Amino acid sequence: MGESYVREALADLPATFQLFCRRMPEGWGYLVAAGLDDALGYLERLRFHTDELDYLVSTGLFSECPSRG
């Protein structure tokens, strides 16, 4: 998802995503989500270093970032 946002020049625009679970464990009647503010703060500060980006490209799963040329 992140790569498609970069490729389409949408990386600097706000985005909305959903968090869900496919099914609850048997016998569970509810789900508690905690620490979402911390998770969102982490994602807002997340940055990849050059060597990390190079590795991701080397897997063949991601293309070269246009801004890296």
| For residue 1, pLDDT beyond 90 | no
Which sign does the torsion angle of CA 8, 11, 17, 23 carry? positive
Residue 52 above 70 pLDDT? yes
List C-alpha distances in Å: 54 to 15, 22, 37: 25, 33, 30
Please state the domain extents for the chain.
2-16+30-68
Of residues 31 and 14, the one with the higher pLDDT is: 14
Cβ neighbours of residue 63 closer than 8 Å, sequence gap 6 or more: 3, 7, 57
Residue type at 23 in one-letter notation: R
Q: Cβ distance 68 to 53 under 8 Å?
A: yes
Tell whether the model's pLDDT for residue 69 goes beyond 60: no
* pLDDT for residue 51 is more than 90: yes
Q: How confident is the model at residue 61 (pLDDT cuts 50, 70, 90)?
A: confident
Task: Read off the pTM.
Answer: 0.47
